[in-house]
Amino acid sequence: MKKFALISVSDKTGIVDFAKSLLNLNYEILATGNTAKLLTQNSVPVTEVSDLTGFPEIFEGRVKTLHPKIFGGILFRRDNPQDIIQANENSILPIDIVCVNLYPFVQTIKKENVSLDDVIENIDIGGPSLVRAAAKNYKYVSILTSPEQYKNFIAELEKGNISDKTKEQLAVAAFSHTSNYDTHIANYLEERFELEKSHIRINEKLNRKLRYGENPHQSAKVFGNFDEYFEVFHGKEISYNNILDLVAAVELCEELDDNACAIIKHNNAAGAAIGTFPLDAYLKALKCDPVSAFGGIVAFNDEVDGKTAEKLNEIFLEIICAPSFSDEALAILKKKKDRRLVRKLKKINEPGLATRSIPGGILVQDKDLVTLNKDDIQIVTNRKPTEKELEDLTFAWIVAKHTKSNAIVFAKDKATLGVGAGQMSRLDSAKIAYMKAKEHGLDLTNSVAASDAFFPFADGLLEIIKCGATAVIQPGGSVRDQEVIDAANQNNITMVFTGIRHFKH
């Protein structure tokens, strides 16, 4: 009895060799349009689908495989007597292998200024139908949807038959393939047509398994396109906690100016600064809390040079991330074999959704990408801030935005001096920030301070004033704002309201 394999692929990687292997195993090849043309050009005998069905491709290829002889050949049950009778009555031949991948919809929507017509024409109809049909009938039909599957499949087929386990794995991969495809289509069209989001659709491919999660007893994996944003090119395998801290460091760095540096520990800033060059920024950031910086993650906005690398090598750091590294820097940094070196490949602060797991579902919100517009700052005290104070206030505000709430951040000369993070009381955050600054010999006199949310009482502001700050930035919005403003005026400091709150839980 003849054995048939149907091939219809958009991604033609390895397809000629795959088809030749099937020929050597006595399969007859059915193919559509461009796939048939490529195989014929490479001396692979092919029966075009239209010749089998007796029905031509129509509507510029919109309809080519949607025919009972094709879907009947895929879907009929080989051990069902009635299916066999009906297949014979309708001259339906069994198709035992289906090799299909889909129109490049995702690649199409990434093109600049792509027209809606082009997008629509790259929505595959027959392909997903073939894939789903073959996957549904996995007991009898093998479905391949990726060139990565060809080699192992042929190797197993050459040994005799494809195992039930392999067919099951291929079927699940096939349904995952069409599910991912439909997710991209629905998400794109929902946004393009400016429709309110009705479902959260997350469908990402496994990127890598991690050694463990937050703790050694938790398993963990990365899904999606992490490698489009970061290249880990040296050191130990990156961990779950490493990734969280890496993202936190880069998110903060990107909101600061050129020559910025952020040192992150447990998702909070152990130090951050803007310098005149990378080494200057790192040294300023390191002064804030050199003890906590040990074992931390350091991110830069600019290339790491040799002098910066020498200084970085003086303490243990888990990760150093930058858009680039000089050859001299790499020669120095690679001396430490386990420390990870990471290139940032593209910007990560881009519009999108932030998600958190909850029992029975997912919490979803827009990413917090709101930035401070200096024109919208409201000066609420008698004393006005100097230009330098405004620069430092803006800097401190950005760091506070990226610090776990309740957050108080002291800064001077575009560098953090003390960070109080994640406390239940804003007053405690101020006390901790002061304590950390004093512990490392930093003077808070004439510093500025940022609070990520309003002061519910004046006591938090008075604590900050007692620490030495002369300028404070906060959102405002408390029912006791006037009480807080009065306290600022009585102590002759300047205070500005942003009208923006940046809680980070």
Alpha helices in 260-374 (DSSP H): 278-288, 290-293, 306-312, 327-333
Neighbouring residues of 473: CB distance < 8 A, sequence distance ≥ 6: 377, 393, 394, 396, 397, 448, 449, 450, 451, 495, 496, 498
Residue 278 in tokens: 């990378």
Sign of the torsion angle spanned by Cα atoms 469, 471, 477, 483: positive
How far apart CA 161 and CA 163 sit, in angstroms, is 6
What DSSP designation does 452 have? S
User: CA-CA distance, 103 to 92, in Å (whole number)?
Assistant: 27
Tokens of 41: 């050009």
Please, are residues 418 and 445 in contact by the beta-carbon 8 Å criterion?
no
Q: What is the CA radius of gyration of the chain?
A: 30
Is 136 a known active-site residue?
A: yes
SS3 track for 420-449: ECCCCCHHHHHHHHHHHHHHCCCCCCCEEE
Question: How far from 435 is each of 270, 288, 420, CA to CA, in Å?
Answer: 14, 11, 9
SS3 3: strand
Does residue 215 have a cis bond before it (omega within 30 degrees)?
no
Find the catalytic residue in 20, 136, 236, 334.
136
Q: How far apart are CA 408 and CA 417, in angstroms?
A: 11
Considering 184, 266, 307, 388, which one is annotated as catalytic? 266
Q: Name the token pair of 238.
A: 């990156």
Catalogue the long-range contacts made by 288-291 (C-beta closer than 8 Å, 24 or more residues apart): 288/263, 288/415, 288/416, 288/417, 288/418, 288/419, 288/436, 288/437, 288/440, 288/442, 289/263, 289/419, 289/436, 289/440, 290/315, 290/440, 291/439, 291/440
Measured CA distances, 4 to 1, 29, 142, 410 (Å) = 10, 6, 11, 72
Active site residue 402: no
Distance CA 42, CA 436 (A): 71
Q: Give the catalytic positions in this structure.
A: 136, 266
